Amino acid sequence: MSQVTFITNANKVVAAPAEPTSLLRISIREKGGIPFKCGGGLCGTCKCLIEQGREHTDAIKPKERKHLSEAQFAAGWRMACQTFVSGDVSVSWPPPPPKPGSPA
């Protein structure tokens, strides 16, 4: 068993399988809260920052390169639906943009 910490979701900690598992799958199953739409590497909604445990993530996929730059990968950004984790990681993501018409 390993642990995933969802920093943006009040540091929620959940147990994750020991075998490599999609970060988005863990987030959906455990209500971690990473935003997503397509789940297939197309929309770019699931961008997230691996703040700890980058060594427990797998290789960057070609689909991720359509949405993230080398500088972002270097900083730890990944796409949750394309990233498999096999060990403890901590992840954050940008809060949703304000709705049109809401106060800044």
| Chain residues that interact with ligand FES, rule: CB under 6 A | 36-39, 41-46, 79, 81
Nearer to ligand FES, 33 or 39 (CB): 39
Nearest residue (CB) to ligand FES, 33 versus 41:
41
Nearest to 54 by CA among 21, 18, 90: 90
CB of 104 to ligand FES, least distance (A): 27
Q: How far is CA 35 from CA 1, 11, 93, in A?
A: 24, 16, 8
Looking at beta carbons only, is 97 or 103 nearer to ligand FES?
97
Could you tell me the end-to-end alpha-carbon distance of the chain, in angstroms, rounded to an integer? 42
Give the whole-angstrom CA distance, residue 4 versus residue 56.
11
State whether residue 104 is helix, strand or coil.
coil
User: Minimum CB separation from ligand FES for residue 57, in Å?
Assistant: 14
Q: Which is nearer to ligand FES, 2 or 22 (CB)?
A: 22
